[in-house]
Amino acid sequence: MSSVRNLEPQALWNAFADLNAVPRPSKKEEKVRQFMLDFGHKLGLETLGDAIGNVIIKKPATAGMEGRNTVIMQSHLDMVHQKNESTVFDFDNEGINMRADGDWVMAEGTTLGADNGIGVASIMALLASKDIAHPALEALFTIDEETGMTGAKELDSSLLQGKILLNLDTEDDDELSIGCAGGIDTNTTYHYREKSIQLGWQVLKIKLRGLLGGHSGMDIDKGRGNANKWMARILKELHNEIPMQLISFDGGSLRNAIPREATCRIAVADSAKASDILEHSIKQLSDEYRTIEPEHRFEIENVVSSGDALSDEDCTKILNVLCSVHNGVFRMSPEIAQLVEASTSLARVRIQEGVFSTQSLQRSSVESTKAEVCMAVRAAFENIGATVEQAGDYPGWQPNRNSSILKVMENIYVNLFKEEPKVKACHAGLECGILGKHLPEVEMISFGPNIRAAHSPDEKVQISSVQKYWSFLIDTLKNIPNKN
């Protein structure tokens, strides 16, 4: 730990070490919340907690900066707790063990908590500083970002008066983020009629494995295979050629991940003929995706029949909806090059014991196109009589390329580093989208140092990048525009 505390800037790294000594899993932020309240009180600063558990610490402007706009400095207190299988560690009661290795800081067999601990530590260093020029600051420490964004959703915005918000929660030091996607979950249920498997028919089990998968927001534009869509396609093509009964289907796992695997069972009169048709469909898929999905594999085997199958009518309905429902990029942004504006991912499909259910996630940085893609998915399932529930809605952060703080920060970046920053928006969720609903007149920018492998025991943060980011942050605060 001492090696980390000796790194520059020492104020930031010491704050990070103090923070990482406090357990702070999502939904268990009591200890870190009290730590932050005590921190503010010890500094003699106005320190508040809202009803949901966010902490707000206010610091007056330094001399000569009173006429500048108040800045909200925002990061989240919680961290993802993951460890290697061989690591013995109690996240509820132990602090993170850190070490410096070359130009990187990492943890011993666990997540580091640089996401979003470096942002929190930066704000702590600013609040404690006596020699850094800055306008009036409102430090906003939110809770439960990683598992629900509860703090952002339930924020008491009446406690804040700032006009500019700096979110310190991105992971590439050459980027300024100005937008992100919102999202909504669509869950569907359909009760199908069952019938006995035809006497004498053979049951085949089909497995699909080895697709790349990935984040259904950040990776949705990479053209990767969706196991549920692939399985539905080969089943539909088989169903078009020969009589077939669908017995079960189980594909995907997490609602926000592109599904990598799927398994189904079918009954056919002639398994040899069915296998030939399936192999033809599989070869077509393999040819289409040979450069993207080289590691995928299908396995087809004869198994002992069990359970009932879907009625012929329901089998047709279900295969039709699985093949027709949109999956992937829905619309590209007309304003930001290479940014996915709206998408949908068919994440989970299950057919068993009379129930056909699906889970999908729709994302968009624009509320109107999020509504459109949700409507498209809803309509597909309602056409077969399925019950559709859409919930967990959180707003996107629509990019504003013309914001005044963006122009200020672009100029500072060029002056400091002699190159243009990458101004980006991402197709994943950030707290800024939600905070923007509470603070509609506030301009927002998200930035941070280089962090790699966040959410895994391989997480690390680059020391030289933290130094670069810190100098950029300090210069930004010195150049905040005057109040109107």
pLDDT tens-digit series, residues 177-206: 998 898 899 999 999 999 999 999 999 999
59-73 average pLDDT score? 97
Q: What is the mean pLDDT of residues 355-380?
A: 95
- The candidate with the shortest Cα–Cα distance to 167, out of 484, 442, 376, is 442
User: Helices (H) and strands (E) in the chain — how many of each?
Assistant: 12, 25
pLDDT band at residue 213 under the 50/70/90 scheme: confident
Among residues 403, 321, 398, 391, the alpha carbon closest in space to that of 357 is found at 321
**Element containing residue 40 per DSSP (H, E):** helix 30-42
pLDDT of residue 416: 98
For 97, 100, 269, the CA distances from 86, given in Å and listed in that order, are 15, 21, 50
Q: For residues 272-285, give the mean pLDDT.
A: 97
10 Å Cβ neighbour count for 434?
Answer: 25
Please say whether the beta carbons of 399 and 336 come within 8 A. Answer: yes
What pLDDT band is residue 129 in, cutting at 50, 70 and 90? very high
Average pLDDT over residues 107-128: 96
DSSP-derived letter for residue 247 is E
CATH of 2-180+397-478, one of 3.30.70.20, 3.40.50.920, 3.40.630.10, 3.40.50.1480: 3.40.630.10
Q: Point out the residues that are catalytic.
A: 78, 145
Q: Is pLDDT at 2 greater than 60 in this prediction? A: no
Q: Tell me the three state secondary structure of residue 232.
A: helix
The DSSP element (H or E) to which 100 belongs, if any, is strand 98-101
Q: Which is it for strands 46-49 and 164-167: parallel, antiparallel or unpaired?
A: unpaired
- Name residue 61's amino acid: A
CATH 3.30.70.360 domain position(s) in the chain: 183-394
pLDDT value of position 39: 98
| CATH 3.40.630.10 residue window(s) in the chain | 2-180+397-478
Cβ atoms of residues 408 and 197 within 8 Å: no
Are the beta carbons of 345 and 428 closer than 8 angstroms?
no
Candidates 482, 344, 375, 408; CA nearest to 178 is 408
CA-closest candidate to residue 271, choices 310, 250, 245, 296: 245
Statement: residue 267 has pLDDT above 80: yes
**Paired tokens of 391:** 């919930």
Q: Using CA atoms, how far apart are residues 56 and 160, in angstroms rounded to an integer? A: 8
What pLDDT score was predicted for residue 345?
96
Q: Which of 70-74, 210-214, 413-417 has the lowest mean pLDDT?
A: 210-214
| Res 270 pLDDT > 90 | yes
pLDDT of 100 > 90? The answer is yes
pLDDT tens digits, one per residue of 417-455? 999 999 988 888 789 989 999 999 999 999 999 998 787
Residue 120 CA, chain-centre distance (Å), reads: 20
Token look-up 């594999």 returns: 297
Burial 73-106 (b: 16+ CB within 10 A, else e): bbbbbbbbbbbeeeeebebeeebbebebeeebbb
Predicted pLDDT of residue 159: 97
Q: H/E element holding 370? A: helix 367-382
3-class SS of residue 74? strand
Q: How confident is the model at residue 1 (pLDDT cuts 50, 70, 90)?
A: very low
Q: What is the pLDDT of residue 335?
A: 80
Rg (CA), the chain: 26
CA atoms within 13 A on the CB side of 474: 16
Q: What is the pLDDT of residue 57?
A: 98
Does an H or E element contain 276, and which?
helix 271-288
What mean pLDDT comes out for the span 262-278?
A: 96
Closest CA relative to residue 285, chosen from 346, 335, 357, 235: 235
Tokens 């006995």: give the residue: 196
* Spatial separation of the C-alpha atoms in residues 276 and 195, rounded to whole Å: 26
Residue type, 177: S
**For 183-394, CATH number?**
3.30.70.360
- Portion of the chain with pLDDT greater than 90, in percent: 82
pLDDT tens string 134-179: 999 999 999 998 877 899 999 999 999 999 999 999 889 999 999 8
